[in-house]
Chains A and B, each alone.
Chain A
């Protein structure tokens, strides 16, 4: 039996954070951010609860979408038996293993539903025919039940894939990969359904009259580009810090760059299609959502997204050299990560501030609090694990990977 099991292609010390390394401080840095953010929220939140809940929602959605993007990435890597990316898979696994933390960070929102979602205000449906029609779906108990279902399913997937992969580090059992692959196909389908419903629940229902059948895909496109952008920042940063520098090569960075390039285009394609159909049909119950985002200073943000989330990175990432150098890829990744945040901000905030862009200190505080939890959880896991799936059957293939 053991002879069939995958041998160690890497020495564990090539793929762990050595004692005393600065990356060991990630949980501490994260905790400091949480403290700062929590203090900020506690001081400013009670004075402006509406702003607090909207800010919290934006940051929560941003970090949750990165984790969901990671789930998509790892699941379809299994489903299509991708070889090249095994060396970066553990980073993805670490990112989505924070989903249970995200479930906890969702709880504060439940205390502010009436600030966020007009349909949740008691009696809202009485004078509103559309809300009355939607009431069987848009009511508080069912909303909470759905959220619980999403988080149970996502946490189940996250822990299943994270723990099985960690387990394989010890046993080298190739059957683990086979089992996870078998589960990946149906897993992705249900993941796509749950993330579609979640995006409708949490973003679209901020304006309960609006609907867009494309929104689920739009949310997926954003999540995926966000995650790949994160990976494109973290991987070169790790190499720069002397982690995995013997493992991850320019070839892997090149493929991350290709993903980044492909999915900025995909995001633009989906985003434009959503806008285009609504703009062209020009039905008032659909077009008001975009009208709000094309008026006042929100128009600048819309144009910024067009140019910054698509135009500039499209040409920046087109060349080969940019994708193969750590720092140039990291610049692209950082930029797109920022643009992904702007995208989510642009989806949520015009509902709160239809008069124009109104940045708030609470935006920063909520970002620090949620982001700090995310960094602390991921950093804590990274200290305790190998940074690469050490005995995955395809690791050797991934280590030797070259772009044709």
Chain B
């Protein structure tokens, strides 16, 4: 579970940050980093770059499964709760209907299914992204401030098995990085 693991690399270095001038440079650099076999790395852009997830080789998110399970749980909970209340805990004849009148349970079953699915989507997304996170070593970098403005970055974390402070830096430079920076933890 991502939530139970340490969220940042242990050790003296957080990793390496490389800045690229254009989305195209970043895109092609990502393809190379992906092909070099790195696994613990990320790309940072001021706006969505279409197809970047393919260039980075990111697998499909497990989020839909979380949403499905959460939604079904909510629906089952809503239906079960009404069943229990109306037919068992507090049997009460309402407008002459049988105690277990399933059509009357559908709106709340539906609503709780949707509510739980939405919770699954929001909190699942936060969990998978390891958010909220109040501090990140990338913010030590001065150039990284431009990530919300006009610069494009690749960061490779030091706990990647292929990480090497000097060789990885050289690789990123050879891919056309405008600047490469080794970040402390």
Contacts and interface: CB of A to CB of B under 8 A. Distances in A.
Interface in B37-57: 50
Contacts of A279: 103
Contact of A276 (B60, B68, B95, B103): B103
A214 to B, nearest CB: 15
Contact of A272 (B68, B95, B96, B106): B106
Contacts of A282: 95-96
A261 B36 CA distance: 40
Interface size class on chain A is 10 to 19
Interface of A is mostly: helix
Interface of B is mostly: helix
Contacts of B68: 318
B50 A276 contact: no
B104 interface: yes
Interface residues of B, number: 10
A276 B103 CA distance: 7
Nearest to A404: B50
Contacts of B96: 282
A351 B154 CA distance: 69
Interface in B71-107: 95-96, 103-104, 106-107
A65 B68 CA distance: 33
Contacts of A111: none
A333 B60 CA distance: 26
Contacts of B60: 320
Interface of B: 50, 60, 64, 68, 95-96, 103-104, 106-107
Cβ-closest 8 pairs across A and B: A279-B103, A276-B103, A272-B106, A280-B104, A276-B106, A275-B103, A282-B95, A404-B50
17 contacts: A272-B103, A272-B106, A275-B103, A276-B103, A276-B106, A276-B107, A279-B103, A280-B95, A280-B103, A280-B104, A282-B95, A282-B96, A318-B68, A320-B60, A320-B64, A402-B50, A404-B50
